[in-house]
Amino acid sequence: MHLQKNHTRIHASAFRPVRPLVVYCAMKKLLLLSALLYSAAGFGRGYSHADSLRGSDWPHRAWWDVLRYELTVDFDTVSQSISGSNRIIFLCGDDRTDSMQIDLQRPMELDSAFLITGNDGAPVSSKVKIVNENNVWWLKHPFSRLEKGAEASVLLYYHGTPRKAVNPPWDGGFSWKRDSLNRLWISVSCQGLGASVWWPCKDAQWDEPDNGMNITLSTPNGLQTVSNGVMTVNGLGGGKTTTEWEVRNPINNYDVTFYIGHYVEWHDTLMGEKGKLSLSYYVLDYNETRARKQFAVVKDMIHCFEYWMGAYPFYEDGYKLVESPYLGMEHQGAIAYGNKYKMGYKGMDRSWSGHGLKWDYIIIHESGHEWFGNNVTARDMADNWIHEGFTSYTEVLFTECLLGKKKAMEYSRGLWKLIRNDKPVIGDYGVNEEGSGDIYEKGAAIVHMIRAMMNDDERFRAMLGGINAEFYHKTVTTAQIEGYISAKSGIDLKPFFDQYLRHSDIPRLEYAIKNGEISYRFENVVPGFSLPISVTSGDKETTLKVTGDWQSAPWDGGYDVEFSKDFLVKVKK
């Protein structure tokens, strides 16, 4: 996802009314446990019961693991409504309850649900009672009778008029737009808001379908439809065009998407780290000439990213770049592009270095998410700095591939002007909250500083590739990423991560030069925090291990000194 023009992040929670917790007189054991967990997850900090239901791995979610989604959607472009079904194939785990939480946001309606058990030769289908609680639909059935380790599925039928996007992709939903020739142009964006804004699912980052997904979309004839994965069916009938798309890899719910419009397409291949990678491009028909020129960077970009972070994570599904009616999104294998064929971010250089105008921000940033966000996924939204911080640093890596390290470092440090230090980078867990908008630039600064401390680009590159290999197609916590980086860097980075991720203020470096000595310390840092800060004056240079305690070192340089620019600190003489 991207920053707005004023570089602030809009959270889905900002648009939800805060409601008090409803206390039910005859609360069952499940709801009592939910209330207790809700209280622990953020009661008193402005979160609603709905936030906790969306953001927590309650017992009614934890007992079943999604193996596969089979989604079918029919679009009525006149009424701007949809109808369809979703079959959720799941694996039964421990502590099975008699309820299953299905997420589907109002005004969408879940019409009916069926539990399907048994083998494919003799499946048994039984209708399931549905109880609605705002955006949650409880399936009431003795699920506890299902055997641990057994596979089963629920078939869900639904319909409705999905929420329209207010300011996509930040305040998302359906975009029912028209292109410049007044023809229909439709898509969806729902990160933060959630995939349940348009289809029923377990709307949680920590449970991706292990065996991928099938997406079947029906639209009026004359419109072309694009989705994630590889198209396997394209047929006509009843005034409708139906396309079927197979996603062979696990996928984040919010990455599932579609694009409907008057597209022209072309295809190419790239010989990469894992062999031949399919490349596909879809743009509005009248934009083909300039799109072919703008999208030519894709091959160099993927080679660059594979060098720094390892093989593209979704060879089986290919890479697509699709023109969208909004700025962009990291939809897995089907990147949304809406930067209007400009260099930089909508024609601007967000780093003020001049280097950000040498490439198209949306192509580079959103494609970087294929590694961080789509491949390596934060289990909880509170840890989404893993997505945005590392991906923002992929902009630096591409700048380095294109222009060299010196200019890349200038670009990287230039982004720091956007950091607000308004609140901790990590948000509150269990309530579908992302934390500060600093997950982008401050997150990238954290990666930059780790690289500076390692002072070995080969080891740093091996670490980035190692993260993508170790956590390939997995969901992770910040603790796992911290532990991996500390192990591979050989540096105890726990105080470093605590300072920059869990506190809003950045360190303040105080110093004084007197009588042939330089005295120095960090103010406002966590216990054990230190950084190796170089200080220069003329041709005199030394590196100081600065901590929270006053220290002194001999200094025969001048009084006008400059401290390393590679660490996000404030300096006070």
- Quick: pLDDT tens for 303-323: 999 999 999 999 999 999 999
> Max Cα separation, the chain?
89
pLDDT value of residue 34: 38
Three-state SS string over 174-221 comes to EEEEECCCCCEEEEEECCCCCHHHCCCECCCCCCCCCCCEEEEEEEEC
* 493 and 515 assigned to the same domain: no
In a domain, 1, yes or no: no
Q: Judge whether 437 and 7 are in contact, CB under 8 Å.
A: yes
* 206 and 114 assigned to the same domain: yes
Name the packing angle between helices 478-489 and 441-454 (round to 10°): 20
Binned at pLDDT 50, 70 and 90, residue 119 comes out as low
Q: What is the pLDDT of residues 207-263, one digit of tens each?
A: 999 999 999 999 999 999 999 999 999 888 889 999 999 999 999 999 999 999 999
Binned at pLDDT 50, 70 and 90, residue 30 comes out as very low
Mean pLDDT over each residue of the chain, to the nearest integer: 92
Q: Judge whether 397 and 444 are in contact, CB under 8 Å.
A: no
pLDDT value of residue 8: 34
Q: What is the pLDDT of residues 441-472, one digit of tens each?
A: 999 999 999 999 999 999 999 999 999 999 99
* 102 and 173 assigned to the same domain: yes
* 382 and 489 assigned to the same domain: yes
* 518 and 445 assigned to the same domain: no
Strands 275-284 and 319-323: parallel
* 234 and 89 assigned to the same domain: yes
* 466 and 513 assigned to the same domain: no
In a domain, 306, yes or no: no
In a domain, 538, yes or no: yes
Using the predicted structure, report yes or no on whether residue 25 has a pLDDT greater than 50. no
Binned at pLDDT 50, 70 and 90, residue 5 comes out as very low
In a domain, 38, yes or no: no
In a domain, 288, yes or no: no
In a domain, 398, yes or no: yes
Q: What is the pLDDT of residues 152-209, one digit of tens each?
A: 999 999 999 999 999 999 999 999 999 999 999 999 999 999 999 999 999 999 999 9
Binned at pLDDT 50, 70 and 90, residue 45 comes out as low
CATH number for the domain spanning 555: value is 2.60.40.1910
* 203 and 248 assigned to the same domain: yes
Q: Which residues contact 290 (CB under 8 A, 6 or more apart)?
A: 341
Using the predicted structure, report yes or no on whether residue 64 has a pLDDT greater than 70. yes
Q: What is the pLDDT of residues 332-380, one digit of tens each?
A: 999 999 999 999 999 999 999 999 999 999 999 999 999 999 999 999 9
Q: Which residues contact 27 (CB under 8 A, 6 or more apart)?
A: 35
* 119 vs 211: which has the higher pLDDT: 211
In a domain, 334, yes or no: no
Amino acid at 296: A
Three-state SS string over 89-142 comes to EEEECCCCCCEEEEECCCCCEEEEEEEEECCCCCCEEEECEEEEECCEEEEECC
pLDDT value of residue 120: 63
Q: Which of 223, 239, 261 is the last residue of a domain?
A: 261
The Cα 185–Cα 337 span in angstroms is 13
Mean pLDDT of 550-560: 92
pLDDT value of residue 32: 33
Binned at pLDDT 50, 70 and 90, residue 121 comes out as low
Name the nearest CA neighbour of 459 among 497, 481, 491. 491
Domain total of the chain: 3
Min mean pLDDT across 23-37, 108-122, 480-494, 547-561 is at 23-37
Min mean pLDDT across 45-49, 289-293, 294-298, 325-329 is at 45-49
* 453 and 516 assigned to the same domain: no
Using the predicted structure, report yes or no on whether residue 23 has a pLDDT greater than 90. no
Provide the residue count of the chain.
573
With a pLDDT cut of 90, the percent of the chain lying above it is: 87
Binned at pLDDT 50, 70 and 90, residue 118 comes out as confident
* 537 and 463 assigned to the same domain: no
pLDDT value of residue 194: 96
Mean pLDDT of 111-131: 89
Question: Structural domain of residue 522, as residue ranges?
Answer: 508-572
Q: Judge whether 133 and 86 are in contact, CB under 8 Å.
A: no
CATH number for the domain spanning 477: value is 1.10.390.10
* 552 and 454 assigned to the same domain: no
pLDDT value of residue 251: 98
Q: Phi and psi for 92 in degrees, rounded to 5?
A: -80, 130
CATH number for the domain spanning 113: value is 2.60.40.1730
Q: Which of 239, 261, 283 is the last residue of a domain?
A: 261
In a domain, 326, yes or no: no
Q: Which of 484, 502, 520 is the last residue of a domain?
A: 502
* 84 and 100 assigned to the same domain: yes
